[in-house]
Chains A and B, each alone.
Chain A
Amino acid sequence: MFSDQHETVTPSGKGKRASEAKGSDSQPHPRLAVWIESYKGHLMRLCQSGAKRDIVVSKKHLAAALDARSFCAICAAHKPEIDLLIKLFGLQDWFAAHAPQEPYGGLESAAQSYLGLCQALLMEQVRALSDEDLENLGYSIVSAKATHFSGKLIHSDTQGAGMPARDVPSVQPHLSSRRLLRAGIPLPLDQVKLDNSGALQRVIKVLNDDPLVSASGLSAREQKAIQRGAKQALDDASQRRPNFVDHRLRQLLLPAGKGVYISVSPLPAGGMGVLLNQAVQHHEDAALAQAAAEAKAAASEAASEAVSESPESPESPEKPRRGRKAKSDKSDKGGATTEGEKKKDDVAPKYKPLFERIEFPIGGANPRNASLHWTDRGFANPLLFTAPQRSSNNRGVWRFLHRPWSAWISRDAAKKIGAQIAKLGQSSYGDSGSLAAVRVQASGSLAEWVRSCHGAAQAFARALNETDLSPSEGGLRLLIDEEYVMKSRGQETLPALDRCLLQQNFGKEYRQAMSDHLLAVLRRRTVDPSTGIGTIESAASAKRVSDAIEKLLGEAL
């Protein structure tokens, strides 16, 4: 997709004047620095753009100024209200030629009246247009450039693949433009080709009743007229039938009856990504706010305790961020935060995305060719979802082909369980095998160990089924069955427990076999090496432990 651009991209639609200026003299005017110095206090500040009105007019644009008047005109053209009028009505050249005289001196009131004059001059031009003219303007811009679905998102060189959304709501639950229609959510418009003049974005602002439109001075009547034209264009666009399919688009054949097929080219919608991103961001913000509230509550609790502690706490290591640190030398620079900042960080939890996004470079080096929404976070950043992955225990399975499966017990666990059994033996239960004694026995460390062994056995049985022994031997998933294991072990029979694992049989037979096996392991591991006397000596206590294990296994299933 790093293809050559069809449409030349020039910053914010003032390409013509910028290139003219470049043609005459590529050097900026020598007095540019003087103008910036004298106007930066008021005029340039008033002309900041962006959603938060904090983006200063860039030097690159200002460098095109030929004199103080054109310098002020460039500044004024960046004021969002004036910018809207200029770009919506294509008045770039007219404004450059007819901009009023620059304001005099460093007074804010002078700058304000200058901007008011600019706006009034532009509005005078707009007032000259009739309703019909405005309708035609909205119609021509939208019909030439606007669409919902665009093949440009598949390949930015695609031609003639723009389709508007259908106005038939769907009863199906799937996420689609028809489902959005049913939910009453408008799908944002996208472009069918790159809009250098910026007119389409402004028409979309008018369509969305953006507050900026009223602020720019357009009357309700004028807005309505433009909207009428734009809506008419969208309606007409649904009648548009392209006469060719670009070879860059995919085509699927869908069966439409006996032997009948329809070829279908799916087109993506840039607006979907915008809406999805809004929803995800909303969800993540809510989660962050909740985490912050919880952290604050925890911090205030901790602060009351920490008063008595010494103020110099040991430097905590930096929290690992997303991914693994590849270079160690850079971490030192990052670690230089002051104590105050650190405290603040502790209270406010870091923003952590709940969904993984992964870069999918639509549009390549020039994403603005692909979509109007190329600056949106949702654009070219699809959500990545995962599917279950197998974690095969090849080693364990290989071992199983030669030796029976056996449970594992740590030294600590063996000691604890031994103590538990011995303690019960010394209590009033003695060697009792009563139900009450079994119930008491089936608790604590013994229960913990039996449950973990059962989990391990289940996981191993699953691994036995999933392990792919030898694809080279003519196929996929050569199943490990009893016959195969007996052959490889060179034995005529298999232990009952192994048979159960192979069959994934976790019923009565398994409980019996497993408790016998676990008792044997326990008996072996609870022998005191110095005396040679085991904890489970008497048949009665062995029976009790075995019953307890079986009881636990019965509960697990």
Chain B
Amino acid sequence: MTYLVIDLRVKKASMLQSIDFITPAPVFAAVMAAHALDMEMGKRGSALGVSGVGLVHQHCQPWLEHLENEKGWMERHLVQRRGACSIENPKNKEPQGNPLQPDALTDLEWTLVLDCAADLGDAASREIEGQLMRMRLAGGVIALARVRAHSQWDDVLQGMKSGFWIDDASALLEAEADPDPFIALIQAARSGAWVVPVNLGYALLEAPAQGRSGSRDAKPHAFAEHMIGLIRYTPARLAKVGLLPDKLWRHGWDGDQFLVTNRSGVILSAAYKLVNACASSDHQAK
């Protein structure tokens, strides 16, 4: 039983949550990166057994530039980069002919707290640091990673001196007065607390199809939609009062919706039943 405290500095992570929301908080990516780290370490026979992830925001620096508009006023714009290679027309040698895939980037400093089943020491921490440096977070390069291992939860809290603890505040989207989730979202974001919308999951739009061409790693593939939730930032020195390991983030399935959350009372199952997955793509219509 070990708690890993991972200080991360990430460059050029994506802050695009969906095409309607830009927030420098890749919560979904961070929770799943812990899973990826676990699996990568497992390949070397030293699986971590991550059962929960704590997210502490330290600092962010969105990639915004200030450009003059036609009237001479300075306006904020997302820094855009042009693709290095053309996927549309391989004959096109002109760099300006390359398509510009718009993106929204941010530099981040986050601290992740991993609740691991394995007993890990300093040697393992160095190994994890090495592995992290080869990974990415939300498409961003991990520039620095420092891992500390604690066996006691209290030691974790002791070290949590700065930053903002991130909680799932999606329950605010259920306003009693108004069934409209858009209104609830706006009101929550305009309330006094620091609440912002982020992508917290994906709902499948179809049962996963086996053997769909172009699917990544030839896995069963499904199209999905975003599930936009809310997160709340609380200063760590306030949040750590009475904070227990059961308030860490976890991931799992609710039916065919894949979610990350740290709300209590949300039951998520680790497995998704691939019942219709074998409905092969012979069935495709039209």
Which residues does A use to contact B, with CB under 8 Å?
1-4, 143, 149, 153, 155, 157, 161, 163-166, 170-180, 182-185, 236, 238-248, 251-258, 260-269, 272-273, 275-276, 278-280, 282-283, 321-327, 330, 354-356, 358-362, 364, 378, 380, 382-390, 462, 465-466, 471, 475-477, 504
Contacts and interface: CB of A to CB of B under 8 A. Distances in A.
Nearest to A245: B214
Nearest to A275: B182
Contacts of B258: 254, 264
Where chain A touches its partner, the secondary structure class is loop
B81 interface: no
B60 interface: yes
Contacts of A182: 179
A253 B218 CA distance: 11
B73 A240 contact: no
Contacts of B73: 321-326
A359 B9 CA distance: 27
B270 interface: yes
17 contacts: A173-B181, A174-B170, A239-B285, A243-B281, A256-B271, A263-B221, A265-B222, A273-B20, A324-B74, A362-B102, A383-B20, A383-B22, A384-B76, A388-B60, A476-B7, A477-B146, A504-B161
Given A170-B203, A276-B182, A323-B76, 14 more contacts: A175-B227, A256-B274, A262-B222, A266-B202, A266-B223, A279-B182, A283-B190, A325-B73, A326-B68, A327-B72, A356-B76, A360-B102, A465-B162, A475-B7
B99 interface: yes
B52 interface: no
B204 A3 contact: no
A175 B102 contact: no
Interface of B: 7-9, 16, 18-25, 35, 57-62, 64, 66, 68, 71-78, 80, 87-89, 99-102, 104, 109, 144-146, 161-164, 170-174, 179-183, 185-186, 189-190, 194, 196-197, 200-206, 208-209, 212-217, 219-229, 233, 237, 251, 253-254, 257-259, 270-272, 274, 277, 279, 281, 283-286
A362 B208 CA distance: 28
B224 A172 contact: no
A31 B105 CA distance: 56
Find the residue from B164, B181, B274 having the highest chain A CB count within 10 A: B181
A269 B180 contact: no
A15 to B, nearest CB: 24
A90 to B, nearest CB: 21
Contact of B180 (A3, A143, A279): A279
A382 B229 CA distance: 16
B57 A387 contact: yes
Contacts of B8: 476
Contacts of B71: 330
Given A2-B99, A242-B284, A245-B212, A358 B203 contact: no
Given A3-B88, A267-B223, A325-B72, A382 B271 contact: no
B181 A155 contact: no
A323 B66 contact: yes
Given A251-B215, A251-B216, A504-B237, A241 B206 contact: yes
Nearest to B73: A323
Given A475-B144, A476-B7, A389 B59 contact: yes
Given A175-B181, A244-B213, A364-B100, A471 B144 contact: yes
A465 B281 CA distance: 56
Contacts of B162: 462, 465-466
A245 B102 contact: no
Contact of A384 (B22, B217, B227): B22
B205 A465 contact: no
B144 A243 contact: no
B223 A163 contact: yes
Contacts of B171: 173
B271 A383 contact: no
Contacts of B102: 1, 360-362
A380 B214 CA distance: 28
B232 to A, nearest CB: 11
Contacts of A326: 68, 72-74
B78 A276 contact: no
Contact of A178 (B104, B197, B203, B209): B203
A245 B23 contact: no
Find the residue from B214, B217, B281 having the highest chain A CB count within 10 A: B214
Contacts of A247: 87, 214
A245 B213 contact: yes
Find the residue from A170, A174, A261, A462 having the highest chain B CB count within 10 A: A174
B8 to A, nearest CB: 8
A498 B88 CA distance: 62
A123 to B, nearest CB: 32
Nearest 8 CB-CB pairings of A with B: A279-B182, A257-B271, A174-B227, A256-B272, A175-B228, A245-B214, A327-B72, A251-B216
Contact of B196 (A4, A180, A275, A385): A385
B212 to A, nearest CB: 6
B15 to A, nearest CB: 9
A4 B97 CA distance: 10
Nearest to A360: B102
Given A183-B181, A279-B186, A325-B72, A385 B197 contact: yes
Contacts of A255: 35, 251, 270
Contacts of B270: 255, 257-258
A3 B87 CA distance: 10
A149 B183 contact: no
A147 to B, nearest CB: 10
Contacts of A174: 170, 173, 200-201, 227-229, 259
Find the residue from A182, A239, A356, A477 having the highest chain B CB count within 10 A: A477
Contacts of B22: 358, 360, 382-385
A315 to B, nearest CB: 21
B174 A173 contact: yes
Contact of A245 (B78, B215, B285): B215
Nearest to A183: B179
Contacts of A321: 73
Contacts of A171: 254
A477 B9 CA distance: 10
Contacts of B206: 163, 238, 241
A107 B70 CA distance: 45
Contacts of B181: 173, 175, 179-180, 183
Contacts of B89: 4
Contacts of B202: 252, 254, 264, 266
A191 B74 CA distance: 35
Nearest to A251: B216
Contacts of A386: 23-24, 60, 62, 196
A471 B197 CA distance: 32
Contact of B60 (A170, A361, A387): A387
Contacts of B227: 172, 174-176
A360 B196 contact: no
A1 B100 contact: yes
Given A322-B73, A387-B23, A175 B182 contact: yes
